[in-house]
């Protein structure tokens, strides 16, 4: 079962990302250490996350881990 949108948002928030509203149901997530990286999440919190979105969030978190070392 895929994770929910709210779970992806919680993971980004826990890692230090901040969000700003986008158009409609979109939110744009940015991290101060990753200036050129933005993650756009679309959908309501209770929706299942699409596979590509899960991969995009995981890649952003992995990239942040590399910056912290």
Query: pTM for this one?
Result: 0.90
pLDDT at residue 66, as a whole number: 86
User: Tens-of-pLDDT digits for all 69 residues of the chain?
Assistant: 899 999 999 999 999 999 999 999 999 999 999 989 999 999 999 999 999 999 999 999 999 988 765
Under DSSP, is residue 2 helix (H, G, I), strand (E, B) or coil?
Answer: coil
Cα–Cα–Cα angle for 59, 1, 28, nearest 5°? Answer: 40
> Structural domain tally of the chain?
1
The CATH number for 63's domain is 3.30.920
Domain ranges, residue 32 = 5-68
For 8, 14, 17, 38, 54, the CA distances from 3, given in Å and listed in that order, are 7, 16, 19, 20, 8
């Amino acid at each position: 079962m895929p994770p929910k949108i709210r779970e992806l948002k919680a993971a980004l928030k826990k890692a230090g990302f901040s969000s700003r509203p986008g158009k409609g149901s979109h939110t744009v997530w940015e991290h101060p250490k990753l200036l050129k990286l933005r993650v756009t999440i679309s959908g309501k919190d209770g929706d299942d996350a699409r596979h590509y979105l899960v991969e995009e969030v995981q890649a952003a978190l992995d990239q942040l881990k590399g910056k912290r070392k």
